[in-house]
């Protein structure tokens, strides 16, 4: 490969890298702006009412497949928004309320000692 062709390849690769950096910076700025908007809404006390399947699964700490199974078996309810399954914040809170607690069970009353036979 002659030097002119090599130079063009290097210029092309560098320009691609520069464009990728610009795109990455723009996406990061958009992400920061969206995070600020969510934080501002949270400060104002605005609560998200409907959650997508992905958002609900993330909020509950499970996969979307497991969430779909729970919905299919009636463990958690969902609403239909067109063709999409959505979950209300009340549905998510109701499901969490049905989960067993990992806390210690209530302490049992101490047993009375048997009277020793004489």
Read off the tokens for 43: 């400060």
The confidence score (pLDDT) of residue 94 equals: 92
Express each pLDDT in 10-51 by its tens digit. Answer: 999 999 999 999 988 888 888 888 888 777 766 665 567 899
pLDDT in tens, 75-90: 999 999 888 999 998 9
Task: Output the CA–CA distances (angstroms, integers) from residue 118 to 14, 111, 112, 113, 114, in the order listed.
Answer: 97, 21, 18, 15, 12
Position 116 scores a pLDDT of 60
pLDDT number for residue 2: 86
What is the pLDDT at residue 28?
87
The model's pTM:
0.49
Supply angle C-alpha 85, 89, 95, rounded to 5.
85
Measure the CA–CA gap between 27 and 21, rounded to whole angstroms: 10
From 82, 8, 11, select the one nearest 52 (Cα to Cα).
82
How many helices (H) and strands (E) the chain has is answered by 4, 3
Say whether pLDDT at 105 is over 80.
no
Query: Would you list the domain boundaries of the chain?
Result: 1-45, 50-98
């Amino acid at each position: 490969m002659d030097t002119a062709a090599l130079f063009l390849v290097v210029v092309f690769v560098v320009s691609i890298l520069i464009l990728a950096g610009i795109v990455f910076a723009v996406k990061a700025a958009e992400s920061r702006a969206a995070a600020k908007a969510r934080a501002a809404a949270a400060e104002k006390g605005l609560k998200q009412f409907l959650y997508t399947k992905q958002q609900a699964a993330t909020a509950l700490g499970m996969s979307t497949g497991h969430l779909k199974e729970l919905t299919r078996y009636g463990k958690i309810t969902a609403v239909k928004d067109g063709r999409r399954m959505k979950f209300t914040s009340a549905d998510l809170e109701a499901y969490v309320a049905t989960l067993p607690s990992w806390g210690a069970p209530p302490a049992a009353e101490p047993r009375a000692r048997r009277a020793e036979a004489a």
